[in-house]
Structure 1
Amino acid sequence: MALKLKKGTSKHSAYDLRDPNSQVIERHTLAVIVDNEAGVLARVIGLFSGRGYNIESLTVAEIDHEGRTSRITIVTTGTPAVIEQIKAQLGRIVPVHDVHDLTVEGPSVERELALFKVAGEGDKRLEALRLADVFRARVVDSSLTSFIFELTGSPEKVDAFAELMRPLGLKELARTGVAALSRGEPLASAGRL
C-alpha cells in the first residue's frame, strides 16, 4: 500500500517535506492577522509589489471589532524559498500579529463567491439554467435577455463554471477572492473571536 504524503508540513509532522531549493512554482494561501488601522493593507500590498511577488487573490475583513483586528487572506505563488521569504517579511511588518500558511499547516477550506452575467436566448438560455442547477448556482437577477447567477465554491469550481458559461454568453464576471480557514483545531491567534 502506497503512502499518501502531501507536500508541505502539518502540525502533526516534525519534518518539512518541501525542498527549499526547488524551483517549482507553488500556490499558497496565507492568513495574515493585522491591526485594523489605516495604511496596514497598503504596507502589506507594498511588500508584494516592491519585491515583484504576485497576488492571485486578496480578501480583507475585520474579524474582531473590539480588538480592532482584521484578517487578510492572500493567495500567492512562488518557489518554496520565495514563499518562505514572503512569510518572513510579512511577519516583520509592525501591525502584523500572525502569519499562517494554510497550505502547509494542514487541511483547509477555501471558498469564493462569484457573480456571472450571462446573456442568451433560446437553447443557450435553457442550457445556462441547466448548468447553473448542476453547479448549484442561484439566479439572483433575471431579465428577458440575461441572468445573473451567484455561485459559491472553491476557486476551481468558479473557474469551471465560468468556462462552461463562456460559449453560452458570459458577459461579465465578478469574484470576491478566496476566504479560507484551517480545518480542525483553531490556529493560535488566527482570528478566534
Structure 2
Amino acid sequence: MNANLPLILGSSSVFRQAQLQRLGVSFQTARPDFDETPAPGETAEQTALRLAVGKARSLAGKFPHALIIGADQVAWCNGRQLGKPMNVANAQQMLTDLSGQRIEFYSALCLLNTASNGLHTHVDKTVVTMRELDGGQIRRYLEREPDAVYCAGAAKSEGLGAALLERIDSTDPNALIGLPVFKLVAFLAAEDVEVI
C-alpha cells in the first residue's frame, strides 16, 4: 500500500545518494533544515539519532505523504565528538589527533512515514582503528581525497581513506559510508516497499 508513497532522501550527501542509487529504488533528494549542533551532555549515539530524526521531520511539511529517510553520523574518540572538518586545516589536525586511535562511528538512520506518522529508527556502531600516520601521509591523503573534509573524522573509507585504516569492526559495512543499508532495506519492507 505504501509503494505509492514517494521515497525522499533527506540529505544533500552525495555519498548517501550513491548508496541509495545502488539499491535501484526510485527516490528524490531534499535538503533538510535542521540545526546540527550537539546538545550538552548528549552521547554521540544520541546526537546522531536526534539529528537523523530531526532532519526527516524538518521535511514532513514539504512532503506530507511520503517516506522520508533521515541519516546522520557522529564519530567519537578520546571522550569527544568529531564532526566533519569542512576544511583542509581542520582535517589535518583531526587526522593527526586520530593517528593510531580507535574511533567509534555512530551512523543513525530513520524512516519516517509522513502519511501515518510511523517512525523506524536505528543506530549502527562501527569501530575503526586508524594506522599510525605521519604529516606527509596526511597531507598527501587530503590532496588526493579532497572530499574527505566532508566526512566525519575526515576518513573517507570507501576511497583512499581505506589506506588510513588498520581495522574496521561492523555489522554493516555500508554504515561507515553514511547509510546503514541493511537496516534501511528492512525498514522499507516494513512499509511495503520491496527492494528486490
Q: TM-score, normalised by structure 2?
A: 0.29
Q: TM-score, normalised by structure 1?
A: 0.30
Q: Name the structure where helix makes up a greater proportion of residues.
A: 2
